[in-house]
Structures are given as structure tokens and as C-alpha cells.
Structure 1
Amino acid sequence: MFAPARRRCAQNALAASIPASASIPTFLLPAFHIPTSSRSFSSSSPCQSKIGSAPLSVPPEVSFKIVAPSARARTHRVQPMSTAHIKGPLGELSMEIPAYVNIDLESLGGPTVTVQDSTDAKQRAMWGTTRAYLQNHILGVSEGHSAILRFNGVGYRASVEPNATTVQSEYAGQQFVNLKVGYSHPVELGIPKGVKASTPQPTRLLLEGPEKEVVMQFAAKIRAWRKPEPYKGKGIFVNGETIKLKNKKIK
């Protein structure tokens, strides 16, 4: 860390000790040369985000609009954020876009996402994240997201009920998922708004909705009641989740 500073001090001391009339041999001149700038480790330009630089795929039946922030939202401490409105056959979603993220709607291959400074760590981190969220919203309002939960265990099953005895409904017409996973008390979970649940089989639960984050979060909430265990392979599995079985404990 202190090597360059020590080298400069040594060179300055050596230069002061040599008289002005004395001549320095040619082969020693590189040793007394002080570089003006430090050399960087890489001379190549920083690579672009592969996910963030990919254009968005917007189907014809989906409308994608960017609404600029209003003048009232402008403050000195918080930068105003624009809003992306995505509307399709399955619903409408909106998402706030950071001020340093730019979306070009006039691009030939589709809307593209860019950032103001690609060398900034925070902007580079949000570059691909913002593009992934937007693409998930576009896919959600056009085709929808789904999660399949498998119940593996003796007597493990699930059902969708219109009423519940242990929890209160949060909105009108809310349905509830009733789990039977080995507890003596009933396990009832309210289905979030916008999510549709069905049971094609007693040991299968299908969740569908336009917002991927809400669907997968509710699936994780159900899975938390019986996480897969590695000895008998019992539990609630989400989508293609698998678990490697261990040998039985021998005392």
C-alpha cells in the first residue's frame, strides 16, 4: 500500500544527494523516472449487463407505457421515480422505475433498459433487476405465472375452501387453502388477491396469478408448514424441487 510513496521519497532523497553537475548514466535513467499516473489492472472497457441490455419482449396484446413523475413529487432529498404501467388480458400491473434507469420505447428490437452510469455498483445491480421485473410483469399479464405444490407424506393433502374458522377474510370473496399435513389443529391460509388456487389432485395444489412475486411468496408460505426432510422425503415440494435422501441414523 505504501510502496509507491516510499519509492518516491527514496527517489527524491537520491536526486537531492547527487550534485547538479554530475551526469547520470543512461542505463540508470529509468530508475529515476517517476510515473505520472498509476497503471490500471485492465485496459478493456467494462462489460455490459447481459440481462439488462437484452430488449424486452412485449406481445401485441400488451400495452407498455412509462409515466413521468409529477412536479409535486420532486423533492431535494428523494429523486422522483417514473412509473411503468403494463396492461394485458390477465390484468394490469405497475412498477416504479429508479431515476437513473432509462427505458427506450422506440427501439427497433423492443423496449431497452439502460442506466446513466454503468460503472456505478448500485446502478449496475439494478440494471438487470429492473429489466427482469419488467419482463416478469409483461409475461404475467399476458400468460400468467404458476406454481405447483406437491404434498408427499401419509395423509398429506390440500383443499380450497370458501370459508375458514381460524382466520378472517381480508377482502370480499376470498378463498382459503386448507392444509392437512400432520397437525392436530386446522391450517388455513387466505389466498392473496389476484391469485387463483385449485386442486387437480388431493396431493397437488396449483397457484396461478399475474404477479410472480406474489405467487411464489404464497407458495413459500405454504411450504414453510412442512419443509422437505431428507430422511423419508416427506414435505411440501414447489415446482420441480427435489431433495437428496440421507441414510437413516443408526444408534
Structure 2
Amino acid sequence: MFSTARARGLERAVASPISISLPSFLLPAFPVVPSRSFSASANRPSQIGRAPLSIPPEVSFTILQPDAPKNGRALAQSTVEIKGPLGKLSMTVPPFVKLEHDEASRKAYVTVEDKEAKKQREMWGTVRAYLQNHILGVSEGHTAILRLVGVGYRATVENTATTVAPEFEGQQFVVLKVGYSHPIELPVPKGVKVTIPQPTRILLEGPDKHVVLQFAAHIRRWRVPEPYKGKGIFVNGETIKLKAKKIK
């Protein structure tokens, strides 16, 4: 039996006009099966992007139409402003994403120009998820709970810091004591509220989910959970599987 590469070469030779003059002993003894893709299912459009956005009564959803592009060099991008009782957020959407706002039913719909384009399908559900997070953030807010596990680990919130300069007026600082020779002082981002219900618990609240979780990851980086004693800083429901101790 011929190899796959040789069989494909003979198959192309058979399909060419000059294959009529080929002797029979040069043709493969078995029919060559054409290659198939791994999946036979057709591409399906994003199911997340199709779902409409429900806008609460206390939230305002405004779509700002872009200005005309200058010299036709760049496509215009629209901006969405979402305002609620907990704050105001804005987001710039790609030019191929279309937004429709039904004020009567308080629904917003996200569509794309070409559902067959891979890039547009990828961004369809992504844009819808970001908008949903913004709506939820300005109406109810996003939270992150951090647990400090370790002997002597504790955290406090201070109005001043000795090693870090404040970036804006009234900025607070999270002070960590997690086994280092000195306390770790971390400035709280703007728009994030930090409370310490217990010395080993940190509660982060804010309208922007990305900013809240990014600050939580920044705190966690100082004591990443280790798998031998289970010590570290855990975010939300994070767990770790303990390993057996190394015995030399």
C-alpha cells in the first residue's frame, strides 16, 4: 500500500489531463479516501450574543453615535454609556458590532454585520458579556472576597502609607502582613471600596468587574496559595489540592 503522501500525489496525477498516459501499475491498488476535517458540524452563531440585555429602571443606557471618520482611514466606533446608582461606565464597541436600544421594553440587542466572519463571531458574545457586566455593576455592583490563610496573616485598611504615594485625594491603602519582614502597602484603585470584616478577610466592591478582580489578583500575587501547607491568599471560592510532603 502506498504512503499517504504518495497516494495523494498519485491522486493529483490521476485528476490531471496527463494521467491518461500513466500505466496501470503506477495507479494505487486501493482507492484513495479524501481527507476530512475533524468536525463535520457547521459553525453556529454565538448564543450569548443573541440574548437581549435587560436594563433595570434605575439604569440609563445611552448609545453615542461616532463622528464621521477623517479621510476614510479608520472606521468609526460607537460608545455606550451606562449610568446607575453605583456609578457610570462607558465602553467602546468595534465598528462591526451594531446595538439597538428599545426604550419601551427596556431591552438592548447586540448584532454583527457578518455572522460568518470568525472575528465578528468571537466579539459578538464578548461585547454582550461586557455590557451585561457593566449593567450589573452600576446597579448591584461586583464583589470579591479574599481569604488570608496562614499563621499571623492579617490585613488592614489605612488612610496613609509610608512606602507608596497616593494617586488621588482620599485614596486608601490595603496593608498586608503575610510573612514578610515588612508590611505590604497596596493603593486601592479609584471606584473600589475595601472593607475588612475580619482580620483574615478582605471584601472588595465596585461597579467595574475588571478593576475589582484585577485588584484582587494583585493582592493574591503577594502570597499565591502553595500546595504543601495550603497557605496563601485565596480569591472567592478558590481551593487548592494539597500534595504529600517531599521526603528525602
Instruction: List gaps (5 residues or longer) in structure 1.
Output: 16-38
Percent identity, aligned pairs only?
63
CA distance in 1, matches of 2:218, 2:171: 17
Number of aligned residue pairs: give it.
226
Q: Which residue is 1:84 aligned to?
A: 80
CA distance in 2, matches of 1:136, 1:75: 35
For residue 14 of structure 1, the aligned residue among 1, 20, 45 is 20
> Judging changes above 3 Å, is the alpha-carbon distance between structure 1 residues 217 and 43 closer, same or farther for their aligned structure 2 residues?
closer
- The residue identity in structure 2 corresponding to 1:121 is K
Corresponding position: 1:208 with 2:205:
yes
Post-superposition offset of 1:80: 1.2
SS of the residue corresponding to residue 124 of structure 1 reads helix
> Judging changes above 3 Å, is the alpha-carbon distance between structure 1 residues 74 and 232 closer, same or farther for their aligned structure 2 residues?
same
For residue 110 of structure 1, the aligned residue among 107, 123, 148 is 107
CA distance in 2, matches of 1:241, 1:156: 18
Q: Which residue is 1:141 aligned to?
A: 138
Q: Which of the pair has more CA radius of gyration?
A: 1
- The residue identity in structure 1 corresponding to 2:121 is R
Q: Which residue is 1:221 aligned to?
A: 218
Contact 2:158 2:174 in 1 (8 A): yes
Post-superposition offset of 1:7: 3.6
SS of the residue corresponding to residue 183 of structure 1 reads coil
CA distance in 2, matches of 1:75, 1:181: 56
SS of the residue corresponding to residue 222 of structure 2 reads coil
TM-score with structure 1 length normalisation? 0.83
TM-score with structure 2 length normalisation? 0.84
What is the aligned-residue RMSD (CA, Å)?
A: 2.3
> Judging changes above 3 Å, is the alpha-carbon distance between structure 1 residues 121 and 60 closer, same or farther for their aligned structure 2 residues?
same
Instruction: List gaps (5 residues or longer) in structure 2.
Output: 1-7, 22-35
CA distance in 2, matches of 1:151, 1:189: 15
- The residue identity in structure 1 corresponding to 2:15 is R
CA distance in 1, matches of 2:228, 2:97: 48
Contact 1:80 1:99 in 2 (8 A): yes
Q: Which residue is 1:34 aligned to?
A: none
